[in-house]
Amino acid sequence: MKLIEIPPQIAAQAAQLRDQINRHNYLYHSLDKPQISDAAFDALFRQLRALEAQYPALVTDDSPTQRVGAAPLASFSQVRHELPMLSLENAFSAADLEDFERRIKARLETDKQIEFVCEPKIDGVAVSLLYEDGKLVRGATRGDGTSGEDITQNVRTIESIPLRLHGENLPSRLEVRGEIYIAKRTFAAINHEALQRGDKAFANPRNAAAGSLRQLDARLTAKRKLTMFCYSVGLVEGGDLPATQWGILHRLQTWGLRINPFIEVVCGSSACREYFDKMATQRPELDYEIDGVVFKVNDINLQRHLGMLTRTPRWAIAHKFPAEEGYTRLLEVEFQVGRTGAITPVARLEPVKVGGVTISNATLHNMDEVARLNLMTGDRVLVQRAGDVIPKVVAVDAAARPADARAIVLPDHCPACGAEVVLAADEVIARCSGGLYCSAQRKESLRHFASRLAMDIEGLGSKLVQQLVDEGLVNNPADLYRLTEAQLVALERMAPKSANNLLMALEKSKATTLARFIYALGIQEVGESTARNLALFFHDFAALRAADDEQLLAVPDVGPVVAGRIRTFFHQPDNQKVIDELLASGIHWPQVASSDVDPAALKGQSWVLTGTLSVLTRNEAKAKLQSLGAKVSGSVSKNTTCVVAGDAAGSKLTDAQQLGVPVLDESALLALLAEHGVEVA
């Protein structure tokens, strides 16, 4: 193979592009102060990629183009930490904090006020990053504190982690420690998608972050939008660092690393307590989970004097927020059957108040989880609630097990239809094999069909679906459109007015969109966004029905598994019949002609959404703006094209006004979308 000679001006140009891209990445991710538009950034990125494609020898492994694409690993290798990764002692009260300060003063034999750095305690995954001569050479999990797993390929995909540090006086070897996490918003989106695919949801953002980070295929990590706050250093060789924790954190920031914006220096334990109260108030506003705050002696020399116990330093303490947990008794386990037949054990609990909310049910996920918890009916259990996540049983009080506790056994027949329950060899989720003969599966499919993001049939909730199926009036979605007033009025608790309302809602639902219709069909693994991609790609429902694997695989986000599910679904004679009947009943949608929507109409523009919208959800508005080529960003800068402000818009609106960025209300946004041919209904 002939090596192409790289002209020096090309090498210089590539180096310059890399510097520019790294700088803007830093401004955007670490400082939250972008200076150029996303479009301008993309343009720089494309130029660099084009140069590297033309001259492959130009590619360096710290080039910003090399974040994704490493081949999947067979397993993670172990990494021994050169300095152990410590954990923290916990404080639970103001008195604990005073004790902490007293111990420090006694050990240092001083009466002087102690300076503490206060930091939020990020609820994510602790990692260590090793930089050699400024270059990221290794990322590792904390593991047991002594050794962890090598997750270099995964951390390289995280945009807020620089592949190369910049600036002065870089140590030749520098180990940076911090917390990788998933924003609440991203977590909600991941779980929403997972549930729609019929997959298990992550219990909390920390699990989602850990699961995303421990992917052997780093391309999956890249999709999860992880991010990181750095909070300390480990090994430092060949260079000096400032003499305070505060100084070190800010030095890390100048080198390109991301630190938390709420870090403060205070004097004495009562000021620490004030910081704790302030962060407790701030907590719901933050876009990431914190489970408390951390106080660290600011002076590194004092830290050295204080030293450490076996696993925890004497100079730091975590002050945790009170847990949203409580003990209660497991009265019964019921098995629920989902839309795809998945059988989920659900705990019926003696009602207990946790974080101000009474809990009487909790999910147990699957039988593996029941086994992992070693749970029996009658047990005293610890339940936990995290934000709007479904409450869950997190532990069993084995010592309090009553003599009459009963084992929890997966039924071998479906509690709804009696069909056999099967547990495939490679699955943890047991499924009812009754398919559409199973009334529970039918009910769930109908509920899904009628749900807000699908056909949006107002008034058709779980209770009514249950009645309709139990009375034998409805077996599949097409039956819904054959319901008559007489049939409905004959139902218990159904007044003529409600019957009429339902018929009107059914009629109204017939005017829909292709994406909603596809989603409503409830094809396994086809969530809302996949349905949207399918609609955008095929435009025509008949084309989707007839699509082969090759066409399906060309759709963004559709892999072999999803393609298989879609084909199987459309080949199934019962499904074909129901679909034909649905179409014959008059369900229709506006033709999505490829030429109608110009995917580059708003190219180069950066939009910000804030406040509560009433017609669209924020996610819908975002997707629609993106379909016109706009970028939708989370913060307002002078490069923001436009801010859309809904009800109760906060600081982003003020930012826009201060920077002179145009502000639209929702109706103006709807008008603009309609003008560009984007469906709004």
- Cα separation, 163 vs 46, whole angstroms: 18
Q: Which span sits near ligand IVH by CB under 6 A: 83-91, 190-198, 431-439, 602-610?
A: 83-91
Q: How far is the CB of 122 from ligand IVH (least distance, A)?
A: 4
Is residue 516 a contact partner of residue 453, using CB atoms and an 8 Å limit?
yes
Q: Does 419 bind ligand IVH (CB under 6 A)?
A: no
CA neighbor of 247 nearest in space, from 300, 294, 295: 300
From the number of C-beta atoms within 10 Å of its C-beta (0-12, 13-18, 19+), residue 5 rates as exposed
Radius of gyration of the chain (CA): 28
Q: Which span sits near ligand IVH by CB under 6 A: 311-319, 393-401, 458-466, 549-557?
A: 311-319
Q: Which residues pair with 228 in a beta bridge?
A: 180
- Pairing mode of beta strands 406-407, 376-377: antiparallel
- Cα separation, 635 vs 628, whole angstroms: 20
Q: Does 179 bind ligand IVH (CB under 6 A)?
A: yes
By beta-carbon proximity to ligand IVH, the closer residue of 38 and 119 is 119
Q: Does 318 bind ligand IVH (CB under 6 A)?
A: yes
By beta-carbon proximity to ligand IVH, the closer residue of 313 and 564 is 313
Q: At what angle do helices 618-627 and 666-675 cross, to 10 degrees?
A: 30
By beta-carbon proximity to ligand IVH, the closer residue of 231 and 569 is 231
Q: How far is the CB of 121 from ligand IVH (least distance, A)?
A: 4
Q: Does 88 bind ligand IVH (CB under 6 A)?
A: yes
| Residue 409 CB neighbour total at 10 angstroms | 11
Q: How far is the CB of 148 from ligand IVH (least distance, A)?
A: 11
- Residue selected from 87, 433, 451, 487 as contacting ligand IVH according to rule CB under 6 A: 87
CA neighbor of 131 nearest in space, from 110, 112, 156: 156
Q: Does 653 bind ligand IVH (CB under 6 A)?
A: no
Name the residue number minimizing CB distance to ligand IVH: 126
By beta-carbon proximity to ligand IVH, the closer residue of 235 and 623 is 235
Q: Pull the structure tokens for residue 654.
A: 């003020």
Q: Which span sits near ligand IVH by CB under 6 A: 60-68, 310-318, 371-379, 380-388?
A: 310-318
Q: How far is the CB of 227 from ligand IVH (least distance, A)?
A: 14
- Give, as ranges, the residues between 451 and 490 that touch ligand IVH (CB under 6 A): none
By beta-carbon proximity to ligand IVH, the closer residue of 88 and 429 is 88
- Residue selected from 86, 359, 531, 547 as contacting ligand IVH according to rule CB under 6 A: 86
Is residue 128 a contact partner of residue 285, using CB atoms and an 8 Å limit?
no
Catalytic residues: 121
Q: Which residue has the tokens 């927020």?
A: 321
Q: Which span sits near ligand IVH by CB under 6 A: 22-30, 201-209, 313-321, 484-492?
A: 313-321
Q: Does 232 bind ligand IVH (CB under 6 A)?
A: yes
Q: Does 294 bind ligand IVH (CB under 6 A)?
A: yes
Neighbouring residues of 647: CB distance < 8 A, sequence distance ≥ 6:
611, 612, 613, 614
Binding mask 632-651 for ligand IVH (x = CB under 6 A): --------------------
By beta-carbon proximity to ligand IVH, the closer residue of 259 and 354 is 259
From the number of C-beta atoms within 10 Å of its C-beta (0-12, 13-18, 19+), residue 486 rates as exposed
Q: Pull the structure tokens for residue 656.
A: 């826009």
| Residue 212 CB neighbour total at 10 angstroms | 24
Q: How far is the CB of 661 from ligand IVH (least distance, A)?
A: 33
- For 72, 287, 457, 493, the CA distances from 531, given in Å and listed in that order, are 28, 28, 18, 36
CA neighbor of 604 nearest in space, from 645, 660, 642: 642
By beta-carbon proximity to ligand IVH, the closer residue of 297 and 381 is 297
Q: Does 231 bind ligand IVH (CB under 6 A)?
A: yes
Q: How far is the CB of 307 from ligand IVH (least distance, A)?
A: 12
Q: How far is the CB of 109 from ligand IVH (least distance, A)?
A: 23
- For 174, 512, 602, 610, 665, the CA distances from 672, given in Å and listed in that order, are 50, 21, 11, 17, 11
Q: How far is the CB of 171 from ligand IVH (least distance, A)?
A: 19
Is residue 449 a contact partner of residue 522, using CB atoms and an 8 Å limit?
yes
Provide the total of helices (H) and of strands (E) in the chain, helices listed first: 25, 24
Q: How far is the CB of 263 from ligand IVH (least distance, A)?
A: 8
Element (H, E) at 120: strand 115-122
Q: How far is the CB of 87 from ligand IVH (least distance, A)?
A: 4
- Residue selected from 143, 247, 313, 564 as contacting ligand IVH according to rule CB under 6 A: 313
Q: Pull the structure tokens for residue 575.
A: 């499904």
Binders of ligand IVH: how many residues, by CB under 6 A? 15
Binding mask 526-565 for ligand IVH (x = CB under 6 A): ----------------------------------------
- Give, as ranges, the residues between 107 and 126 that touch ligand IVH (CB under 6 A): 119, 121-122, 126
Q: Which span sits near ligand IVH by CB under 6 A: 42-50, 84-92, 331-339, 489-497?
A: 84-92
The two most distant CA atoms of the chain are separated, in Å, by: 88
Which stretches of the chain bind ligand IVH, using CB under 6 A?
86-88, 119, 121-122, 126, 142, 179, 231-232, 294, 313, 316, 318
